[in-house]
Amino acid sequence: MKIVLVSEIPIVLEGLQCLLEKNGIEVAGLAYNGREAVSTAKALKPDVILMDIKIREFGGIDALKQIKAEMPNIKVVMFNITEGEEDPFEAVKYGASGFLLKNANTKVLMNLLFDLEKGKPPLSTYLAAKLSSECEGGHLTYRQWEVLEMVAKGKTYKEVGETLGLTERTVKYHMGRIIDRMHLENRAQVIAYAAQIGLIEI
């Protein structure tokens, strides 16, 4: 897997590069803003671009749009390391294959990258729109979506917590919020609903 990293913060790029290379992943290039992200993608044709959503010159979302329009085979994973109101669903809507929140740990990052390498499908535009429209008062959070997907696929709360770096109690809390927002009654209904909208097959 060949990756390009994009962030305007040098120490973030250096840290990610070191982490990925220690895990056997080739970092083909670095970019410091949206314009460089597009030109670097054209020059190096990486498999994946890991890009900070908060960058200058285009911005992360605008760079994402251009990359996916011109090079649709490149997978783009967005991340956010600072406080902000950026919506993961906005990134997914324009073709991102994933969105890492600022508290994501190494295991979450590596699992996402290896899933992409294996060809596992990312969160679809349809599903993002469907979930957000079905939720009372707006979107599920990206974290809630992650929990929903894993629980719907049969993972225990403990297994979900271990994968996402959460306590079992926190996973239970997220499931409670998901059930409330979707106007469902229990975990079984959540799984049935996930199958209905195409999140899982049963």
Q: How far apart are CA 64 and CA 90, in angstroms?
A: 11
In our burial notation (b when 16+ CB lie closer than 10 A, e otherwise), range 73-104 reads ebbbbbbbbeeeebbbbbbbbbbbbbbbbeeb
pTM above 0.85, yes or no: no
Q: Return the H-helix or E-strand segment holding 136.
A: none
Tokens found for residue 59: 């911005």
Over the chain (202 residues), what is each successive 10-residue block's mean pLDDT?
Answer: 94 94 94 96 96 88 94 90 59 78 75 81 50 53 81 88 92 88 76 63 50
